[in-house]
């Protein structure tokens, strides 16, 4: 981390658990309205505790460790148990079981919803959250995974952890996020998480745990580097986020544009995603409140 002059933007090249450093700067004048209050966001981003960079990309695969393996296995078994003839191994074909269960109703679920409006409006998501709220074992496995595997990436600092992860079903013919009226051709739900109305902090890192293989149009597409976030959108700046089953991918979703395409793989992608950030970077005015959206993991005395 370093002091930053107000008329420049940092391109981050830090490594997990290491404070961010600077490799390149671009002038503030070159920055469009892509990310809103750029000065504030850069300040937040500088507190990321080290964005995750490998091979010149700001997203990367992370090890899951024993605890992550336990958590993802538990999740796969729990989800498979909801559907006849589906096992952990055959989860990518869960859409066939859903169609059998729901008949004609299933048709309406295969459409792409509207970003932030009805793209989370599915029975299988509600079922999951009911189970989540009731299960100490599931919540314990989640937090144990973050404590043992993710938190060390922040170099011992107290972090904020999203209390309840998001579950995504990306069924063939659909997408995991809804579309927007201004989406470029072929893209669904192009956004940064810091955009309105989400206003996520740029100090956050997004983590996605793949419960089935994620690749091609069943996965998301992510801007490769914050070096291009001030430029007009171009798919060439983006890369398909390939993540094998029971692995985790991390990326700076508040800084890097990301989107879906219609899933034409014939397989369902199921994944869990959550956000973490250093406690020290938390803005008490954030809409993502401590105790509701976030919980604290680690020594709280430094901030509270």
- Site residues for Fe ion per CB under 5 A: 193, 253
Residue nearest to Fe ion according to CB distances in the complex: 193
**Beta carbons within 8 Å of 175's beta carbon, 6+ residues apart:** 112, 119, 188, 189, 260, 261, 262, 263
Q: What is the residue-wise DSSP string for 175-186?
A: -SS-B-TTPPTT
Q: Is the peptide bond before 197 cis (omega within 30 degrees of 0)?
A: yes
Least Å from the CB of residue 198 to Fe ion? 7
User: Which residues make beta-bridge pairs with 275?
Assistant: 206
Q: Which is nearer to Fe ion, 183 or 193 (CB)?
A: 193
- In this structure, what are the phi and psi dihedrals at residue 115, rounded to the nearest 5 degrees? -50, 125
Q: Which is nearer to Fe ion, 10 or 252 (CB)?
A: 252
Least Å from the CB of residue 193 to Fe ion? 4
**Beta carbons within 8 Å of 208's beta carbon, 6+ residues apart:** 214, 220, 241, 243, 248, 249, 250, 251, 271, 272, 273
Least Å from the CB of residue 219 to Fe ion? 13
Q: Which is nearer to Fe ion, 44 or 193 (CB)?
A: 193
Least Å from the CB of residue 120 to Fe ion? 12
Q: Which is nearer to Fe ion, 245 or 257 (CB)?
A: 257
Residue 97, both tokens: 């079981």
> Dihedral of CA 14/18/22/26: which sign?
positive
Q: Which is nearer to Fe ion, 68 or 253 (CB)?
A: 253
- CA quadruple 25, 27, 28, 31: dihedral, nearest 10: -90
Q: Which is nearer to Fe ion, 253 or 278 (CB)?
A: 253
CB of 161 within 8 A of CB of 143? yes
Least Å from the CB of residue 189 to Fe ion? 8
Q: Which is nearer to Fe ion, 247 or 275 (CB)?
A: 275
Least Å from the CB of residue 252 to Fe ion? 11
Task: Give the three-state DSSP class for 53.
Answer: coil
- CA quadruple 34, 37, 39, 43: dihedral, nearest 10: -100
Least Å from the CB of residue 278 to Fe ion? 20
């Amino acid at each position: 981390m370093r002091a930053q002059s107000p008329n420049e933007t940092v391109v981050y090249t830090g490594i997990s658990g290491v404070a961010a450093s600077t490799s390149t700067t671009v002038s503030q004048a070159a920055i469009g309205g892509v990310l809103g209050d750029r000065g504030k966001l850069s300040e937040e981003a500088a507190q990321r505790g080290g964005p995750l960079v490998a091979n010149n990309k700001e997203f990367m695969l992370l090890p899951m460790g024993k605890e992550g393996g336990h958590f993802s296995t538990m999740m796969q078994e729990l989800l498979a148990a909801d559907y006849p003839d589906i096992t952990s191994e055959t989860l990518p074909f869960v859409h066939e079981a859903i169609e059998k269960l729901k008949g004609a109703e299933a048709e309406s679920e295969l459409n792409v919803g509207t970003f932030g409006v009805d793209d989370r409006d599915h029975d299988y998501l509600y079922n999951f959250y009911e189970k989540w709220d009731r299960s100490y074992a599931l919540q314990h496995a989640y937090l144990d995974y973050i404590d043992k595997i993710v938190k060390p990436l922040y170099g011992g600092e107290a972090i904020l952890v999203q209390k309840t992860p998001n579950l995504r079903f990306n069924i063939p013919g659909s997408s995991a996020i809804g579309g927007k009226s201004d989406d470029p051709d072929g893209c669904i739900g192009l956004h940064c998480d810091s955009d309105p109305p989400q206003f996520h902090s740029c100090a956050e890192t997004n983590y996605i745990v793949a419960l089935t293989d994620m690749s091609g149009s069943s996965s998301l597409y992510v801007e490769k580097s914050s070096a291009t976030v001030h430029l007009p959108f171009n798919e060439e700046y983006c890369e398909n986020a390939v993540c094998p089953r029971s692995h985790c991918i991390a990326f700076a979703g508040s800084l890097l544009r990301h989107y879906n395409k219609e899933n034409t793989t014939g397989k369902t992608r199921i994944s869990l995603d959550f956000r973490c950030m250093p406690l020290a970077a938390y803005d008490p005015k954030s809409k993502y409140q401590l105790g509701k959206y976030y919980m604290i993991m680690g020594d709280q005395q430094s901030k509270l």
